[in-house]
Amino acid sequence: MTENVPAATSTQVSTTDSQSNSMPSTESQSRNEATERADLLSKDDTNVSRMHPLVVGFNKLTMMRQFGLLIGLAASIALGLGVVLWSQKETYRPLMNSTNSYDARELIEVLQANNIDFDIDPSSGVLLVRQNDLHQARLAVAGAGLSDDQTVGYELLDQDQPLGQSQFMENARYLRSLEGELARTISSINQVKTARVHLAIPERSVFVRDRRETTASVFAELYAVLNLPMTPSRQFVIWSRLPFLNCALKMFLSWISVVDCSAMMKKS
């Protein structure tokens, strides 16, 4: 019994020594781990300090706010691209103010023959061309003999008249031809775009002593402000169309009163 005690004692001593030897290694490992963590934290702090303040603020937001901010940014970029594309789009203008007196098929053939791009408004059916090609397209249409001038003159008298036509209809045709010729003459002035003339010719009677003068009313659509000098040539051109009228018509450009509707609207 007394011989086994020292052996147990020696065994305990050896175990204690091994435990005491293992403790320094555990402490060194924990110190190394703490050092590594401190290095990682210092690196993270360095990276965060180097980041842009906006990125730092974005990272501090919640997930929902970050998602909403990204959606708003994408919408802003899309809107900006749309505005840029819209500003670069070609501007189209109507080829003619009124296409009722034109054949659309003939207009399209003229534009295609002259290599002019065109488009058709789906809502109104108006033929559109690019603004840069507007004048060229109108010249091409005019060169092809297409015109919206529906004014008739003396050629109205050349048409075959039906049998049994009354004197009133003959006078009306004659009056219409005179008005058309006057309108054409006035429209030949450079500043005048279109013109329409109405004549009031009183009936002649041998039983009436006082004769009323023939009068006329003219509606003219102008390209610009009408500024015509009084020259005998222009007066004679108007007068020669209607030689039977009173001599006061020789001074057509002087006694006719011009009303500027745009100026009246501005004053009102």
The pTM of this model reads 0.38
| Per-residue tokens: 49 | 């300090």
Collapsed DSSP state (helix, strand, coil) of residue 186: helix
Question: Would you kindly state where each structural domain of the chain is located, as residue ranges?
Answer: 53-88, 92-144, 151-202+214-224
**What was the pLDDT predicted at 145?**
66
**What was the pLDDT predicted at 41?**
53
**What does the alpha-carbon distance between residue 108 and residue 141 come to, in Å, rounded to a whole number?**
10
Name the amino acid, one letter, at 223.
Y
Return the percentage of the chain with pLDDT > 90, whole number: 1
Q: What digits encode the pLDDT tens for the residues 42-101?
A: 555 555 455 567 676 777 778 888 788 888 889 999 998 888 877 776 788 888 765 555
DSSP secondary structure string for all residues of 52-111 = -HHHHHHHHS-HHHHHHHHHHHHHHHHHHHHHHHHHTSPPEEES-S--TTS-HHHHHHHH
Are 95 and 129 within 8 A, CB to CB? yes
| Per-residue tokens: 2 | 């007394």
Q: Which residues of the chain have pLDDT under 70?
A: 1-32, 34, 36-52, 54, 56, 89, 97-103, 145-150, 190-191, 223-268
Q: Buried (b) or exposed (e) across 60-98, using 16+ Cβ within 10 A?
A: eeeeeeeeeeeeeeeeeeeeeeeeeeeeeeeebeebbee
Query: Top-level CATH class of 92-144?
Result: alpha beta
Query: Could you tell me which residues are beta bridge partners of residue 127?
Result: 120
